[in-house]
Amino acid sequence: MEPTDRIIVALDFDNRRAAEEVVDRLGEECRFYKVGIELLTAAGPELIEHLVAKGKEVFLDLKLFEIPNSVAGAVRAAGALGVSMVTVHSMGGTGIMSAAADAARDFPRLRVLALTVVTSMTGSDLADVGVTGVTSTEEQVLRLAKLAEGAGVHGVIASPQEAGPLRRALGPDALIVTPGVTLPGESAGEHARSGTPRAAVDAGASHVVVGRTVTRAADPAAAFRLVRAGLEQ
């Protein structure tokens, strides 16, 4: 996979104008964008259709956590929009993940990814919500990843710190998408489990998600090239 194809830029904005400005400034540099619940709520599905029409791939990060029938319906709606990836929450269990995987079969380009443990969470956060019997966040990530694999989804979302253990557990074909990546010397922000793009890919990540590193830079295209250069070394 080419380095450019591994980089997903997160359009974490609260309005369409700001998102489109970044996309325009990146031009042909970037091929893959993440749209989350904030931007989807603010801009609607028309933005996704716009990105797809421009030849971009879209990672629709919905973290679906609902009854299986509702999850399947949302996945079909995502497929109809032309997105390339959509997320479900693995904590919802095998039922919703299987429903998502089944719904995606009608859309050959659509990949379903299961969120394991969000990158802002730590072991104490897991304990707060009643997750017991695990000794570390990594153990919970691996447990949920194996559950997701059994449900038939195409891959998982986890932090860069779990990329290596996940690759060993899931084999060479699974997608492993890692948000929470930062360039050396940058603040990790709200990410409790972060890492550099290069370290994530070296460990086994198939894709890295970068946000403010690129989108809040004075020159987003130059920042994107810096991330890409790190993966090319």
pLDDT tens digits, one per residue of 181-210 = 887 766 656 666 778 999 999 999 999 999
Q: Annotated catalytic, 146? A: no
The span from the CA of 156 to the CA of 88, in Å, is 9
Which of 31, 99, 24 minimizes the C-alpha distance to 59?
Answer: 31
pLDDT recorded at residue 92:
93
Crossing angle for the helix pair 94-104 and 137-151, to the nearest 10 degrees: 50
Convert the pLDDT of each residue in 2-50 to its tens digit. 999 999 999 999 999 999 999 999 999 999 999 999 999 999 999 999 9
Convert the pLDDT of each residue in 84-111 to its tens digit. 999 999 999 999 999 999 999 999 999 9
How many other CB atoms are there within 10 angstroms of residue 115's CB atom? Answer: 24
Mean predicted confidence (pLDDT) in 158-165: 93
pLDDT recorded at residue 43:
97
Choosing from 34, 54, 56, 63, the catalytic residue is: 63
Domain containing residue 121: 3-232
Q: Give the residue ranges of DSSP H helices in 120-162.
A: 123-128, 137-151
Cα 195 to the chain's mean position, in Å?
15
For residue 195, what is the DSSP state? Answer: B
Query: How much of the chain, in percent, has pLDDT values that exceed 90?
Result: 81
Phi-psi region of 152 (alpha: psi -120 to 50; beta: other; left: phi over 0): left
How many other CB atoms are there within 10 angstroms of residue 177's CB atom? Answer: 25
Q: Is the pLDDT of residue 125 over 80?
A: no
User: Rg for the chain (alpha carbons), in Å?
Assistant: 17
Write down the residue that tokens 């400034």 correspond to: 25
Q: Is the pLDDT of residue 79 over 80?
A: yes
Mean predicted confidence (pLDDT) in 118-124: 74
Q: Is the pLDDT of residue 147 over 90?
A: yes
CATH number of the domain encompassing residue 89: 3.20.20.70
Query: How much of the chain, in percent, has pLDDT values that exceed 70?
Result: 95
pLDDT recorded at residue 51:
98
To the nearest whole number, what is the mean pLDDT of the chain? 92
3-state helix, strand, coil in the chain (%, to 5): 50, 15, 30
Q: Which pTM was predicted?
A: 0.92
Q: Is the pLDDT of residue 132 over 80?
A: no
Cα 60 to the chain's mean position, in Å?
8
Q: Is the pLDDT of residue 227 over 80?
A: yes
Q: Is the pLDDT of residue 75 over 80?
A: yes
pLDDT recorded at residue 195:
85
Please count the structural domains in the chain: 1
